[in-house]
Amino acid sequence: MPADAAPVQATSFSGGGGRARHVAIIMDGNGRWATERGWPRLVGHRRGAERVKQVVRACPELGVDWLTIYAFSTENWKRSTEEVLGLMGIFARYIRREAEAMSAEGVRMRFIGGRERLDPKLQTLMAGIEARTAGNTRLNLTVAINYGGRDELARAATRLAGRIARGEIAAASEADLAACLDTAGHPDPDLVIRTSGEHRISNFLPFQAAYSEYEFTPVLWPDFTPAHLAEILGRTSQRQRRFGAA
Ligand code: IPE
Ligand code: IPE
Ligand code: MG
């Protein structure tokens, strides 16, 4: 993101009766879903990608304007070559196969995370779909690939150091930092959901989700349907968010 991108506005969604405009999901449990059935882990990842399609389609009618999904973390390179390459293939196929539908359905697709470590062909597909869907406004879909919050903050710190060195700013404000993140221009998530029963954020949006609501469900991602999302949204929309106020 350019260092001079517009500062990010925090979302309000405050008080009871609000709606989660921006939902972020840590899609976890694909491997366990497959292993439980005696299948290779990649079968779980393929089923997980099918679930993404369904959830993306359901978002507009559920009042979700922004959906940010965690597809591959900076730590996931520790997995076997077979699994990593299989996942990269799934990402490429998803972009190719869904390009037409996303264009027609008003989905703007973007990516966060470091790109230089990704296969150049995948990088080209990513840039292509971002350009092709840049004018869409019905749903903002952001996919985190090779994303890690600490890595993102380190890259942002480098950009900020440059701005300070050039004398553009004397010291970084929160807005200056937000504008240097991969998510510059995105509202903060209102709600972060993690599937599979784990209660941790695993390096996902640590700056942006500092004031988000969290919801943890035991459902494994390949079993997660739009009905689960609707149920969570209905249950959490009444939560009082105070943002530190009395
Ligand atoms: C989430 O499912 C998808 C990715 C991290 C790529 P996992 O692959 O982590 O599934 P489990 O947690 O091993 O079941
Ligand atoms: C988090 O899941 C990353 C994604 C969902 C892409 P992991 O399965 O990698 O997280 P840990 O290892 O359980 O913390
Ligand atoms: Mg996992």
Q: What residue ranges do the domains of the chain occupy? A: 19-148+189-236
> Could you tell me if the CB of 222 is within 6 A of ligand 1?
no
Confidence class for position 13, pLDDT limits 50, 70, 90 = very low
Task: Dig out the tokens for 8 from the structure.
Answer: 């990010």
Summarize pLDDT for 104-140 with one digit per residue, the tens.
999 999 999 999 999 999 999 999 999 999 999 999 9
- Measured from the CB, is residue 14 less than 6 Å from ligand 2? no
Between the CA of 168 and the centroid of ligand 3 the distance, in Å, is 42
Ligand 1 pocket check for 147: Cβ under 6 Å: no
Length reported for the chain: 246
Question: Looking at the predicted structure, is the pLDDT value of residue 11 above 80?
Answer: no
Residues with Cβ within 8 Å of 74's Cβ and at least 6 positions away in sequence, in order, are 113, 114, 146, 147, 148, 150, 151, 203
The reply to whether 76 belongs to the active site is yes
Ligand 1, atom 6, residue with closest C-alpha = 72
Neighbour-count burial of 227, counting CB atoms closer than 10 A to its CB (0-12 exposed, 13-18 middle, 19+ buried): exposed
Architecture per CATH, domain 19-148+189-236, reads as 3-Layer(aba) Sandwich (3.40)
d(CA 110, CA 108): 7
Index of the ligand 2 atom closest to the CA of residue 221: 5
Q: Is 98 in the pocket of ligand 2 (CB under 6 A)?
A: no
Q: Is position 28 annotated as part of the catalytic site?
A: yes
Report the DSSP pairing between strands 22-26 and 139-147.
unpaired
User: Residue ranges of the alpha helices (H) in the chain?
Assistant: 30-36, 41-58, 81-104, 120-132, 149-165, 174-179, 226-236
> How far apart are the CA of 31 and the centre of ligand 3, in A?
7
Residue bearing tokens 């999302």: 229
pLDDT, tens digit (0-9, with 9 covering 90-100), for 56-113: 999 999 999 999 999 999 999 999 999 999 999 999 999 999 999 999 999 999 999 9
Q: Is 87 in the pocket of ligand 1 (CB under 6 A)?
A: yes
Looking at all shown ligands, the one closest to residue 86's CA atom is 1
CA distances from 207 to 90, 102, 121, 180, 212 (A): 28, 29, 30, 12, 10
